[in-house]
Structures are given as C-alpha cells and as structure tokens.
Amino acid sequence: MQVVLIIVSILLIAIVLLQSGKAESASNAITGGNDSLFANRKERGGELIISRITLGLGILFFVICLILGF
C-alpha cells in the first residue's frame, strides 16, 4: 500500500506542475491589481481534464493516507 501512496504522490506532483498558472491573479490580489480577480473563467478541454485528474488524485491520496493511518 505504501508503494501505491508513493506512485500517487509522484503523479499528483507531476499533474500539479502541468496545470496552467493561476498564480497571476493571486499576485494581482496582493499587489492591488484586482481588475480580473473575480473574473468568471471556465476551464475547457485539456485544462478541465487536468483539473479533474488533480482532484481525483488528491482524494485518492487522502484516502490512502487515512487507510495507512489506521
């Protein structure tokens, strides 16, 4: 089970690095450039798939950690 956790961890790190940069809006919020802070931006195509894979891997990581904790 620990091997599965390591594999899921590596996949989660890789998929997070593949995501498009959303940090631009976060840095604008800190510096005061809030013109696009609340912009309604939908994910489409590959970005949506990567987002859903990230969510799935995150949930799987959490469940495996809970199982290994008991």
Domain range annotation of the chain:
2-69
Q: In degrees to the nearest 10, what's the CA dihedral of 67, 68, 69, 70?
A: 60
| pTM (two decimals) | 0.71
Q: What's residue 19's pLDDT?
A: 86
22 or 65, greater pLDDT: 65
Q: What is the pLDDT of residues 5-43, one digit of tens each?
A: 999 999 999 999 988 765 555 555 566 655 555 566 677
3: pLDDT strictly greater than 60: yes
Mean pLDDT of 56-63: 97
CB burial readout 37-59, b (16+ within 10 A) else e: eeeeeeeeeeeeebeeebeebee
Q: Which parts of 19-45 fold into alpha helices (H)?
A: 23-31
Q: Residue 46: what pLDDT?
A: 86
Tokens representing 15 are 């998929």
